[in-house]
Amino acid sequence: MNGKLTMIKVVQAFDRMPLAEVADDEEVALERKLDTAARIFGNRDCWLKPYQRIEILQRLVTLMEGKREHFSRQIAREGGKPLTDAIVEVGRAIDGVRNATEVLRTAGGREIPMGITPASVDRWAFTIIEPLGVVVAISAFNHPLNLIVHQLVPAIAVGCPVIVKPAPATPLCCVDFVALVREAGLPEGWCETALLENNELAEKLATDPRVAFLTFIGSSRVGWHLRSKLPPGTRCALEHGGAAPAIIDRSADLDQIIDPLVKGGYYHAGQVCVSTQRIYVHADIERAFLDRFAARVAALRVGDPVFAETEVGPLIHPREADRVSGWIEEASAGGASVIGGGRITDTTLLPAIIVNPPAEAKVSTQEVFGPVTCVSRFIKLDEAIAAANALPMAFQASVFTEDLRSALRAAERLDASAVMINDHTAFRTDWMPFAGRRQSGYGVGGIPATMHAMTEEKMIVFRK
C-alpha cells in the first residue's frame, strides 16, 4: 500500500461528463468489513429485535421520501435512465422498503405435528426463523437504487449483516442509500459498501467462507462462475438476463398492444433483463402490426435522460453501443430488414426493429440489452411457442390474444417463470416472485422471496 487512495471515476451515461469520484476499497478495507460482519453476527447479543428492524426501516422510508428528487436525478445521470422512469424507480424502491416491514409483521415459524405416531407422543414441536448469516450483494447498473433495495433491505429486515458491491458505473445511489440506512439507525457494521473495480477482489469477497449468502445480479457468465467457486454451505441467488419472447396471436387487438410492446422493448433503452426482445407475430396481421409498431417506435423521443420528455436514453458505455450496433449490422448482412436505428452520441442509439433476423444471428440467440426488438412471423401458435422456447435461457414471456384458448395454451406451454397475457414481458411488481430459469438464473427474487432465502428454520422439540 502506498497510502494513496485509488478513485473510481463516475461519469454521466449520456455525455460521459465527469459526475463524481468515490474511493476504491482496497483488500485491507474489504477484510475489515468482512471481519466486522462475521463478528457481529457471531455475537447473538448484537442481533437486533424485529421491532427494532421495523423502526429502522420505517425511518428509512421517511428519509427516502425526502430524497425523491435527488435519487431520481442521480439515477438519470449516472445510469442514463430517462427521468420519468427514474422517478418511478424511486417510488418502487421506497415501496420495497415498506413491503419488507409488512413481511416482517407476518413472518414466523410453524407447528410441526406430533402425536401422530407412538414414537412422537407427548412431544410438541415448532420452528422459529433465524437469519442465515453474512450476506454479500453484487448489483447491476440498470436499476441503481431499486436493485440495491432488493438486495440490501431483505438482509436488513431479517437481521443479516450485508456488504454490497454496486456496479462501478453506478455507485452513487448505493453510497447515498447506505448513508440513509445509517441515518435511520442501523448500527455500524450491519450494512457496508464494497466499492471495487478490481474483479479479483470482487470474486474474493463473493466467495469468502464467512459469507452465508450471495445475491448476484449481472451476466450469466460471471454469475455461474461465482457459483462454481462458492465454498460448501454458501447459498446464493443469481439473476441473469434473457431474450424475452412475446407472441402476437391473430386475434390480438392492435389498438391495445402497441404501446405495451414499445414500453417492454425500449424501456431504459432495452437494458432490462426481461426486456421484450423477440416478437412473434401471426402472418395474417404482420403487415398491419409492423406499420403501427414502427410508427410508434419512430416517434420515441431519444436524448438526454435528465429531460422530462426523453423516452429513450443512452446505453451505459460506448462499448455497449458499439456491440449493439455490430449485432444489428450482422443481422442486416444476414438478410434481415432493419427499421430505424442509427447513433446520435457515443452511448446513444436510435431504436431499431429487425424484421425476420436469421435464426443464428446474435440478436436471435443472445440477450441484446439495447434498444432493439426482433419481429418474426408465424402461422401456427405452436410454431411461435417452439421458437420462443428454443434458447437455453428463460425468464418472462408474453402472449397477446383475445382468444382464451390461445392464452391458456401459450401460458401453459411457454418455458418461462412468468407469462404475461396482454402485457409486456418487462412487467413486474416488487413483491411478486422474480426468477430466471435455466441459464437465466438461480433462486427466486422479489422482496418477500429474498427475505425467505436469507433465513432458515430452527426446530425446537419439547418432551412433556
Q: Any idea which residue has 469477497 for its cell? A: 205
Q: How far is CA 10 from CA 80, 319, 425, in A?
A: 12, 16, 31
Report how far residue 384's alpha carbon sits from residue 257's, in angstroms, rounded to the nearest whole number: 18
Report how far residue 397's alpha carbon sits from residue 418's, in angstroms, rounded to the nearest whole number: 6
Report, as residue numbers or ranges, the catalytic residues: 239, 273
Q: Which H/E stretch holds residue 396?
A: strand 396-400
With a CB cutoff of 8 Å and minimum separation 6, the contacts of 46 are 40, 187
* 3-state secondary structure at position 408: helix
Q: Any idea which residue has 407472441 for its cell? A: 247
Residue 69 cell numbers, joined: 428528487
Give the phi and the psi of residue 32 in degrees, each rounded to 5: -65, -40
What is the helix, strand, coil percentage profile of the chain, to 5?
Answer: 40, 20, 35
In degrees, to the nearest 5, what angle opens at C-alpha 47 toward C-alphas 43 and 50? 165
Q: Any idea which residue has 451515461 for its cell? A: 13
Report how far residue 425's alpha carbon sits from residue 327's, in angstroms, rounded to the nearest whole number: 22
Residue 8 cell numbers, joined: 473510481
Which has the closest alpha carbon to 327: 362, 276, 376, 277?
A: 362
Which has the closest alpha carbon to 328: 371, 292, 286?
A: 371
